[in-house]
Structure 1
Amino acid sequence: MSTAAQPALTAATIAMGLSAGLYFAFDVSVMPGLDRGDDRTYLTAMNHINEAIENGLFGLVFIGAFLATAVAGGQLRRIGRRTAARWTWAALGFYTTALALTATVNIPLNRRLAASGRTAGELAELRRAFTSTWVRSNTARTLACTAALVCLGRALASSRH
């Protein structure tokens, strides 16, 4: 493989793995763990998580996965590694799906949660409205990022031939 494509494809694969792992961690531990608590604890912890995740390192991985995948796809196509490029473009499509879910479902729910009322009745209703939609969307993000990671693995493997 061209030395130009290798760093971008490697960076894309690492960033995608980190993204898939983050979403998976929410699916199998964070959300089930929060679900064991009372409404106030659940919603307060979720707000704290949403505030904490907005940081430079997360942003680098979140946007870096997209950018590195796009750059790798372009470089692979340019050097004639068509099969690897196709796998990379497929990964970009899956990751774009995860980004779209984040922008249209999870972030709006997080913002609504942050701006919500805090009476006992409001907390219970808010939790019911928030949880099922947020969890379903996160599971879809996990699947999309995992599919993207598999595609990038295939791109890495096919780029060596």
Structure 2
Amino acid sequence: MKALSIAAVVCLGLIAGIFFAFTTSVLPGLHATDDATFVTAMRHLNAAIENGLFLLVFAGALLFPAVLAGLLARAGRPFAWVAAAAGLYLVVLVLTMVVEVPLNDRLADAAVSRADFESVWVPVNDLRTVLSTLALACLGRGMVAGWTR
């Protein structure tokens, strides 16, 4: 279970960090650019992030906490915080698949303006930052509860 705990923390930490980096630096930096630069940069970022390593971490951030919560529950150990982490991150995945990815696709096809893209994508990314950070905090709290029992 310790290896699974470590994998869960690493994946959620990396994901929360990526969203945090976008919220605090990438998106404000791009906001200051002209429309063509913004659109070109976002297209390249969206294409680059679609790789096996990112997808492994992106999926692992849900899979590892969910499996860990199930194992903890079966062992009669505290699991609610770990389950909460998985639930919060599930919301992040839904937001990504329902809002962000379709917007990325529309931007790639030039079917959305920068203003329409940015006005939705940025606040949703901010929400993903908050939710994934809360998920990481819940996971940490759950691990402490499980280790100190």
Q: TM-score range by the shorter chain?
A: over 0.9
1:22 aligns with 2:18: yes
1:143 aligns with 2:143: no
Match of 1:122 in 2: none
TM-score under structure 1 length normalisation: 0.89
> TM (normalized to structure 2)?
0.96
Q: By how many angstroms is 1:142 displaced?
A: 0.5
Q: How does 1:121-160 map to 2 (within 5 A)?
A: 126-160=113-147
**How much has 1:20 moved relative to structure 2?**
0.5
Larger Rg: 1
What percentage of residue pairs aligned between the two structures are identical?
49
Q: Which amino acid is the alignment partner of residue 61 of structure 2?
A: A
- Size of the aligned set, in residue pairs, is 148
Question: Per-residue displacement from partner, 1:7-31 (whole Å, max 9, x unpaired)?
Answer: 1122111110100010010001000
User: For residues 149 and 108 of structure 1, what CA distance do their matches in structure 2 show?
Assistant: 26
Q: Does residue 6 in structure 1 map to residue 2 in structure 2?
A: yes
**Distance in structure 1 (CA, Å) of the matches to 2:68 and 2:3:** 8
Matches within 5 A, 1:28-67: 28-67=24-63
What RMSD in Å do the two structures reach over aligned CA positions?
A: 1.0
How many angstroms apart in 2 are the aligned matches of 1:35 and 1:155?
37
The reply to whether residue 87 of structure 1 matches residue 81 of structure 2 is yes
1:37 and 1:97 map into 2 onto residues whose CA distance is: 31
Structure 1 residue ranges (4+ consecutive) displaced by more than 6 angstroms after TM superposition = none
* Structure 2: tracts of 5 or more residues without a match: none
Letter in 1 for 2:115: R
Distance 1:92 1:66 in 2: 6
